[in-house]
Amino acid sequence: MIEFTFWQILENLLLAARWTIVLSLVSFIAGGIVGVALLVMRVSNSRWLRAIVRVYIEIFQGTPLLMQIFVVFFGLPLAGIDVEPWLAATLGLTFFTSAYLAEIWRGCVEAIPKGQWEASESLAMNYFEQLRHVILPQAARIAIGPTVGFGVQAIKDTALVSIIGFTELTKVGAAISNATFRPFLVYGLVAVIYFVLCYPLTLSARALQRKWHAAR
């Protein structure tokens, strides 16, 4: 057993939390970029594009995130592609996040009254101009709250990538717990750090939902 003081344990966990934050931000931003592309296809007039995106979303929403990470981490090497844990973690979380964000944003787009589409069409706008100038700016107001709320889920989901060896908060917590035989203290601190990361986002999501709902 290795002796660690309380402050040494906390310091190591906080250092590991940096990678949790980085992974959350990278996967959320990348997932958002992919999600926008999926959204445009999801609400397009093309039946085939809508069908393709629907299948994509059903797959990533209908299977556990851990299995998706395993498929990336263990599946790509079978195709001759060497995948490091950080890349597998980023790809797995990006695919998962993009599927959920696309659906969240689709609901926000569909919440815009049909008359907005008809009014913009009467101004001789094409489909992409309607989205860019009329529909998406209004949908963005509705989407802010649930998008921030999903960001909380994205932070918590990063704990799963510890299974494939990515060194983040949960992984380091497990290593320290095994070394010190103080699981209650270590995992208690891990939980507190996750709470500190997530709770402000939860409050922000609630405040934004109230604000924009009142604004409407």
Half-sphere exposure of 196 (CA within 13 A, CB side): 13
CATH number at 6-215: 1.10.3720.10
Residue ranges of domains in the chain:
6-215
CA distances from 143 to 21, 112, 153 (A): 22, 11, 16
| 3 state SS of 58 | helix
**pLDDT for residue 205:** 80
User: Rounded to an integer, what distance in angstroms lies between the CA atom of residue 107 and that of residue 109?
Assistant: 5
**pLDDT for residue 213:** 56
**pLDDT for residue 214:** 44
Q: Where are the alpha helices (DSSP H) in 81-182?
A: 85-110, 114-122, 127-130, 136-157, 169-180
* 94 alpha carbon, distance to own chain's centre: 7
> Looking up tokens 């706008």, which residue turns up?
125
**pLDDT for residue 68:** 94
pTM for the model stands at: 0.88
For the chain, 216 residues long, give each residue's pLDDT as a single digit of tens: 667 888 999 999 999 999 999 999 999 999 999 999 999 999 888 899 999 999 999 999 999 999 999 999 999 888 888 889 999 999 999 999 999 999 999 988 888 888 887 788 777 788 788 888 888 888 888 888 889 889 999 999 999 999 998 989 999 999 999 998 899 999 999 999 999 999 998 888 888 777 765 445
